[in-house]
Structure 1
Amino acid sequence: MSQRKKDIPIQPKRAIVAFGNPGTGKSAVLNSMVGKTVFQSGVAYNGTSLTQHRQIHQHGDVLVIDTPGLQEAGENKYKKNLDEFSAAISTGLPTRLIGFVNTISGRVVESDLAAVLTVFSAVKKKFPKRANEDWIIINRVPAGKDHVLEKVINIVMQACFNQNLGVYIGFINHSAHGYDQDNVLFELNENQKKLMDFEEKLELVIPKGVNLQFDEGVYKKILLLVACLVVAVVLLPEIGAFAATAGMISVLNLSSG
């Protein structure tokens, strides 16, 4: 009897889908979450994603799904990757979406944040009653520079508030071991483990066969907004307090060391 129970496959009850532009660290973080290298990770060159098709790995009762970089070079690949993302989130399960954003020299990569917010906005438009259980992870934040971290988080908070998005925000320090190397694992901290931990809420279910509509005009507006916020936060850093008081967003350090 015990042998039969052991042979019965575990049915997935939840799903996690990672998305973002090429080279934002999606695959490396997913590998760390599942504790082994199942998604190809490393540095993306010339705007080309190492993940060319969505990849699915079952970890316990959770489907962990990696997707191609959204804004990959070439118009045909861009549309294909958006279609891949639509297919990836159509799990029929309670699903958590995790968008990835890079920083360079302590500044948010504007196109990364705009791409992630455009996706979240499309999902929110399709599912207006969706529960707030999704994440934005800010990768490669300079370690030991609290003033830089504060500005980066303020920008992301303000942009989310403007789009009426309630999300969790996580950040990963640039010095965290392994994030810039190929196919390496690093130790999770307690906050990273929370990425995998969410309730099976009906409001999180994304039915199969979903076809999201991505409006290029919306992306351009969000990109302009992000660019303005980058300038505003640099000149007037105190404006970040406005978003922080909104009560919509929690910020967690995900760095393992």
Structure 2
Amino acid sequence: MPSRVLRSLLGRLYGVYATSAFALTILPLCLLIIAGPTLRSRRAIGRAGTQGIMRLIGCPIRVRGLEHLPEGPCVCVANHASYLDGMVLTAALPDRFSFLVQHGAASWPLVGATIRRMGVSFVNRGSPREAAVATRDLLRRLHEGESFAIFAEGTFKAEPGLLAFQPGAFAIASRAAVPVLPVVIRGTRRVLPEGARLPRRSQIEIEILPPLHPEDSSRDAAHRLRDAVRARILARCGEPDRLAVTPHP
């Protein structure tokens, strides 16, 4: 009993420290990003700042598999388990990657302005017309050499487990004839799970897997690509398969 009480107390003390340290450093980081003169400098500030914050709170980011990054444009697809995922993936990927973010994030105080300055693209899945416009823009930018990162589950739940992957990213990759880069994020759910009041200490690991190439531009090929990417991420993310709970569209 005393050891459990001590562990609980130490956990709470760490949570208070990490929350305070995060709150004191994230505002200056956001302001630096917003004030950055170029997109490249803003993304560099975001990467370095996030890495520094996570080290400060005792949750360093370990990245493996950088040798698998394609030289040309690609679509990076990662699992989603925590609000921290966007930050840590930003810290792990080169600055040539833009992020696809749900359109609601654009209105978040400070965060919305920060991610806009980092060049994210907002996607409104609830509007077919807006989604079609966004798709044409993404295809154009991929052909021009940009790369994108997206959380294909579209959301995350409190319960551990990999949800169904939405088909959009894979349809775009197939139409643009660019590879999909599977990326596995581990540890963020332990640090800051859905509904947690205080963070917990844990190392965060990002593993970049070898890219997969679309067979052709057909819808069936995009679905096969989606399933293959999801299977690889599921095998490495250390969480159960929740596909039966949330079937593919």
TM-score range, shorter chain: 0.3 to 0.5
More strand by share: 1
Greater helix share, structure number: 2
